[in-house]
Amino acid sequence: MKVRLKTVVGVDDAEFTFKNSDAAMAYVIDVATSIEVTTDVSLLPPTVIMSLCAMFDECCIAWSGLTDETNMEIPFAPETRDELPTMMKIQAVVAYWQRLQELEEKKGNVSEPDTSSTPTG
């Protein structure tokens, strides 16, 4: 049985790696039962924003491609994760959520790998 331990999603020029945890699913269920997720923060109730940011803080375990205003790479660390702008956290979580939905939809529809010795192309 294949098990996905982490999921990588892209937001603009950055990539975020999320661990797939029970906490992540609890946040997804909490938000999904509250409202339709949007990246327009002004439309989100404060409790949903807090849930999305908590999910990011709990589940984001790495990133690449984030730079500061001087174009220096921002290394991943819990301290820097906590300092990221709220909107960036929400965009990453929404991308993660969408990716999980895509993967769920594809479950059972995985094609068998080509085992022929004939090159494709």
Tens-binned pLDDT, residue by residue, of the chain (121 aa): 666 678 899 998 999 999 877 766 776 666 665 555 555 667 777 888 888 888 899 889 999 999 999 999 999 998 899 889 998 998 898 888 888 878 878 775 544 444 444 454 4
Q: Which of 96, 79, 101 is nearest to 11 (CA)?
A: 96
What's the whole-model pTM score?
Answer: 0.72
Q: Which of 49, 75, 57, 64 is nearest to 19 (CA)?
A: 57
Q: Which of 108, 110, 88, 100 is nearest to 19 (CA)?
A: 100
Res 10: pLDDT: 93
Q: How far is 118 from 121, CA to CA, in rounded Å?
A: 10
Instruction: Write the CB contacts of 64 (distance below 8 Å, at least 6 apart in sequence).
Output: 14, 15
Q: Tell me which H or E stretch contains 32.
A: helix 22-34
Q: How far is 106 from 104, CA to CA, in rounded Å?
A: 5
CB-count exposure of residue 21 (10 Å: 0-12, 13-18, 19+):
middle
